[in-house]
A and B are shown apart, each in its own frame.
Chain A
Amino acid sequence: MQSEEEDEDEERESDILSDDGEVDDFPEIDAASDSDEESEEEEDDTDDLDEEDTLEEDSDADSDLHIFPKSKVVVSDITGQKKTVYPEIEPDYDSDSSTEEDPSRTGNIPMHWYDDLPHIGYDINGKRVLRPAKGDELDKFLATVDDPTSWTTAFDKNTQMDKPLSAEELDIIRRLQAGENPDAEYDPYEPTIEWFTGKGKEEVMPISSAPEPKRRWLPSKWEKQKIMKIVRAIRQGRIVGSKPTAADKKHQFYAIWNEPPSNQPPPLPAPKPKLPTNSESYNPPEEYLPTEEERKQWENTEPEDRERDYLPQKYSALRLVPAFDKFIKQRFNRQLDLYLAPRIQRIKLNVDPNSLLPKLPSPGSLRPFPNYKSLKFTHTKARVRCLSISPDGAWVASGDESGVISLWEVNVGREVKRWTLGSKVGAIEWCPRLDVCFFVAGTEEKLHFLMPPNLSPTVLTMTQSTLAPATLPPATQSSIKWISSSGAVEEGPILVIELPGASGLPRQLTWHRKGDYLASVSSSETQGGVWMHQISRRHSQAPFTKIKGAVQMVLFHPTKPHFFVATQRYVRLYNLAEQKLLKTLMPGIQWISSMDIHPSGDHVIVGGYDRKLCWFDLELSEKPYKVLRYHTRAIRSLHFHPTYPLFASSSDDGSIQIFHARVYSDLMTDPLIVPLKILRGHDVKDGLGVLQVKWVNKQPWLVSSGADGNALVWCS
């Protein structure tokens, strides 16, 4: 630094030496630097002056004529009072400080004339002014190290020593370096002075009095010549205009329908921004403001889990709303959205779970069906195992386990006749014929044919001739005896069929639709226990010599010569005429308990002890069309209504369930099964509930018998 500065100084000196004309610059700096030094002194002096001010004020007031220098009124830093400050007044008459400051009075001469001399000039008294001692380079360096202001000093050749530069001088240097105007006072943007614009300043008179030239308004002949030359060239074909390009032509008319439409979907429109809600307002109503708990909860939840990403805040005025603090974050997320997240239309699966349920008609629209217990008939002694309803729908025969069969009216429930057979009644079935009137009751190894009282004479004679004809048909070879009782017909059975010994209790009886054949299923395991009895021939036979599994139930097909046999697991369908197996239904039930066939003959329901109820469509498959598991205990009995689209199932849980089962003649339409009603009225006794249900012909009424010894009539 030191050496560089030195170099600079030397250069300047050399410049000064070479260029005499510019030597004058430095005395200006000189004077400014002096004044700068003095200004520091001034600050010191001001304190002293403060006291003197008051004295001088008085004197100023006296000398009004002495205008210059003018006083300034300033506020004192110390007292805080206003005070008048005067510029310093030079004490002598000639206040030219420049001459006075310089001790040497050599005048404006090149200073190198004194280079070889020990002095640098002469003072006002003619005495030599000695050259100040100049240290060597080391001293200079040390001085720069010691003095922090040394880099702002410059060599003054008048005094032949370094002088510090004042702030103004430094500012000028800085301006020159920055290429600015060195004058600090210079204002490049000072207002223009309008001389000729504005009201009253317009220049009315033309600047020149010359008339307006013709070229201002006449078309140019020369230009015309030039243009005509081009025109002539175009006419003669020397100049040919550029033809419109094919691309241009194509773009002129664009047949939008010529091209097949693209398969791509149109670009998705950007989703509409959500409209701001009330709570997003800067001044939301009070009710939108979160309570302290809500605020805490909001703060404690993860930002991902928050229901909304802001807290409503209230400001009384819009200008009080602070800057949006999450602006950067939001922009960042937006960028992420735009370039990371592909914009796809997400189809929200908003499925109402209820709509997935099958559409079932309401039970109210499927009336009539039994829905209340109309009356109760009680067997006092034992559980009512079986019942049957006369084909005209007027009488019920119910048999209990103590061997009592009661005949009672469906409507009134009055018992009109009672038979005591002595042993447990396993099954009862009315003959479906309308011209005769009797029913069959199965007890241990016997089938009893019983006639109700009060029959009309025609029916009575018909029944008698059917069951106990005067001339017996020729006896057939069979182990089963048919015994007609001629005597007291009204008291006991008119006909008894004695099943072979050890065949056990007939579990089920079923009539063929024409009322001539009766099938009985005995509970014994030997021979399958199935017997077919023909009333007109008084003949019984076992249709199956060997059968797999224990037969649970048998059924006649209502229209065809088919015969259903339900074993423990399977339901087999035999053709009786051709004597062959047609079909095996596999309900998947562990132990079949009951079975019934729809009056149309195309549908079979099978119930099991494992609570399942299977609906088979015989046209469709060997597997069930539908499996219903609505009972909580074993299913005991099933019955289709002969005319109404209803079926009922009874169970050991003491309930009867009524289903609407509409079967369509159209083969394409599936049967409609609607659960309608659960009837509860039977008590569960010894784990047994409702043992048999039967529908009343022609009316939507149901009769049920239960282990609690009651037979109930359910009416619509």
Chain B
Amino acid sequence: MASTSSSTVPSHPVVFTTKTPYVLPSQKFMIPLDWKRYQLSQLINKALDLPKPVPFDFIVHGEILRTTLWEWRAEKGVGEEDTLEIEYFESVMPPQRMSDIPHEDWVSSVSCRIPQHFVTASYDGHLRLFDYSQNPVIDTFVHQAPITSVCVVPSPSSDAESRILASSSHDFTACLTHIYMSLEGPSASTVASLHLHTSPLSCVSSDTSGSHLLTSSWDGLIGVWDTSIPDEHQVTLERGDDRKKRRKTAPVNIKRKAPIAVLKSHTARVSKALFATGLHAKGKAYSCGFDSTVRTWDVESGVCVNTVNVPERPMLDLAQTPDGNVLLAASTDRTVSIFDLRISNSSLSSSTGFMMHPATPSCIATSEGGKQQVVTGAYDGVARLWDLRSTKGAVTNFRVWDGMKVLGVDWAGDVVSIGGEGGVEVWRITGGS
């Protein structure tokens, strides 16, 4: 391949590194400057003599190479003699649509944290569990009102059969639902309801150990809960005819739980609250809201440690990469702000980048295992795959529904499940590092 390059184009010394199993011998290559990703990828395939061609993407100085080397060099002002170190990784393959799970109502949230299963939360108040072959496993009616989010509480006792799902709803409560996938047949029972908020809840999330939950609500409060099921009701219901009636219909064994702490600082609706992940994550939580702030909380003391005010950018969703380095916040001005936590370990200061969307981004999902990709869903029915190293444009976008909103995404392994107006769709994304 190198021999075919014309002699008129100057070359640049380059050293290739990788973290993939496809390792080139460390030597200096003279790469013609008009080469793009495709030629570089071909070069590596040729050099390694791979039986099946593997497309690669290239990172130069922490950025994905999207132009020719020449343009890149001109843009960055890198000298002609400097040896470039280019890291390569397997490219993200165009996502493939795997399956489609239609729902009667809109799906507000979807989770694929239970292996081989999808959990969907729908606006009709049902939590549904599907396996990978789209068979409904469990369909349980949890809330009277639309469910806004669902999360799978990681069980400490690696018990594959029983799981706890937490769901938040417009009926001002979050519920813990115990599901059993035993051999006799799957069953689900709502075991506890979390009573704190006086407005519809926007989300519920759990920490990695599964011991604590966070709920956020439109009333600006964030509730911190443990996941233990109490024996007694911890909250007495307010008097109300309607409520009495409902209690008659509701099963008696739903225990009403009270929060162990309330995080109070947001001045408007809290749209997302989540526990921090990563190295310095102990006892930390992040939340974002319609008051255009991203707040860092010390959960133990219940104090807002840090507030980042991004003016006039009401946040809709928040996500943190599993390594805890980057915080992403989707806002209604069609941007997803990137907050780099590595810059200052203790506190956030301001956003370090944006991912511009053509429509309102509604949800963000980060991928596991240190990958630098995220998936965002937007109101135009398109899910976009971004690489955090190059936020100028999406790596790929996959049109899920035309003109129907995407409301929730989740990404586990190579499976991306997308929930929204049209039900749930499952896409497969391979590649990336």
Question: Which residues of A lie under 8 Å from residue B200 when comparing CB positions?
Answer: 394, 454
Q: Is the CB of B379 within 8 A of A456?
A: no
B199 interface residue per 8 A CB criterion: yes
| Binary contact track A341-384/B, C-beta < 8 Å → 1, others 0 | 00000000000000000000000000110001011000000000
Within 678-716 of A, Cβ neighbours of B (below 8 Å) are at 698-701, 715-716
Q: Is the CB of A374 within 8 A of B360?
A: yes
Q: Is the CB of A374 within 8 A of B314?
A: no
Within the complex, the shortest CB–CB distance from B393 to chain A, in Å, comes to 18
| Binary contact track B264-277/A, C-beta < 8 Å → 1, others 0 | 00001100000000
| Binary contact track A560-580/B, C-beta < 8 Å → 1, others 0 | 000000000000000000000
B60 interface residue per 8 A CB criterion: no
A453, B333: Cα distance in complex, Å: 29
Within the complex, the shortest CB–CB distance from A641 to chain B, in Å, comes to 13
Please judge, given known A-B contacts A368-B333, A374-B379, A394-B218, whether A412 and B405 are in contact too, CB under 8 Å.
Answer: yes
A416 interface residue per 8 A CB criterion: yes
Question: Which residues of A lie under 8 Å from residue B340 when comparing CB positions?
Answer: none
Q: Is the CB of B238 within 8 A of A699?
A: no
Within 231-269 of B, Cβ neighbours of A (below 8 Å) are at 237-240, 242-243, 268-269
B58 interface residue per 8 A CB criterion: no
Within the complex, the shortest CB–CB distance from B304 to chain A, in Å, comes to 20
Within the complex, the shortest CB–CB distance from B159 to chain A, in Å, comes to 34
Question: Which residues of B lie under 8 Å from residue A394 when comparing CB positions?
Answer: 200, 218, 269
A458 interface residue per 8 A CB criterion: yes
**Other-chain residue from A367, A372, A454, A699 in contact with B290 (beta carbon distance below 8 A):** A699
B328 interface residue per 8 A CB criterion: no
Question: Which residues of A lie under 8 Å from residue B360 when comparing CB positions?
Answer: 374-375, 715
Interface residues contributed by chain A, number (CB under 8 Å): 25
A698, B268: Cα distance in complex, Å: 9
Q: Is the CB of A454 within 8 A of B172?
A: yes
Q: Is the CB of B171 within 8 A of A454?
A: yes
Q: Is the CB of A461 within 8 A of B240?
A: yes
Within 126-183 of B, Cβ neighbours of A (below 8 Å) are at 144-146, 170-172
Question: Which residues of B lie under 8 Å from residue A642 when comparing CB positions?
Answer: none
Q: Is the CB of B239 within 8 A of A454?
A: no
Within the complex, the shortest CB–CB distance from B31 to chain A, in Å, comes to 42
Question: Which residues of A lie under 8 Å from residue B359 when comparing CB positions?
Answer: 372, 374
Q: Is the CB of A715 within 8 A of B332?
A: yes
A457, B241: Cα distance in complex, Å: 9
- Return the chain A residue nearest B268 by Cβ: A698
Within 405-458 of A, Cβ neighbours of B (below 8 Å) are at 411-414, 416, 453-454, 456-458
- Return the chain A residue nearest B143 by Cβ: A454
A368, B311: Cα distance in complex, Å: 9
Please judge, given known A-B contacts A374-B360, A716-B312, whether A416 and B242 are in contact too, CB under 8 Å.
Answer: no
B69 interface residue per 8 A CB criterion: no
Q: Is the CB of B242 within 8 A of A414?
A: no
- Return the chain A residue nearest B170 by Cβ: A454
Q: Is the CB of A457 within 8 A of B242?
A: yes
B123 interface residue per 8 A CB criterion: yes
B334 interface residue per 8 A CB criterion: yes
Question: Which residues of B lie under 8 Å from residue A457 when comparing CB positions?
Answer: 237-240, 242-243
A642, B420: Cα distance in complex, Å: 32
Within the complex, the shortest CB–CB distance from B166 to chain A, in Å, comes to 19
Within the complex, the shortest CB–CB distance from A613 to chain B, in Å, comes to 26
A32 interface residue per 8 A CB criterion: no
Of residues A394, A412, A715, which shows the largest number of chain B Cβ atoms within 10 Å of its Cβ? A412
A460 interface residue per 8 A CB criterion: yes
Question: Which residues of A lie under 8 Å from residue B332 when comparing CB positions?
Answer: 374, 411, 699, 701, 715-716
Within the complex, the shortest CB–CB distance from B202 to chain A, in Å, comes to 9
**Other-chain residue from A453, A458, A699 in contact with B314 (beta carbon distance below 8 A):** A699
Q: Is the CB of B106 within 8 A of A414?
A: yes
A413, B108: Cα distance in complex, Å: 12
Question: Which residues of A lie under 8 Å from residue B112 when comparing CB positions?
Answer: none
- Return the chain B residue nearest A461 by Cβ: B240
B99 interface residue per 8 A CB criterion: no
Q: Is the CB of B145 within 8 A of A413?
A: no
Q: Is the CB of B312 within 8 A of A367?
A: yes
Within the complex, the shortest CB–CB distance from A612 to chain B, in Å, comes to 32
- Return the chain B residue nearest A394 by Cβ: B218
10 contacts between A and B (CB under 8 A): A374-B360, A412-B362, A412-B407, A416-B145, A456-B172, A457-B243, A458-B238, A460-B240, A460-B242, A715-B332
| Given A412-B405, A460-B242, A716-B332, 19 new contacts (CB under 8 A) | A374-B359, A374-B360, A375-B360, A394-B269, A411-B316, A412-B362, A412-B407, A414-B106, A414-B108, A414-B123, A414-B146, A416-B145, A454-B145, A456-B172, A457-B243, A698-B268, A699-B332, A715-B332, A715-B360
The 5 closest A-B pairs by CB, nearest first: A457-B240, A368-B312, A457-B238, A454-B145, A456-B198
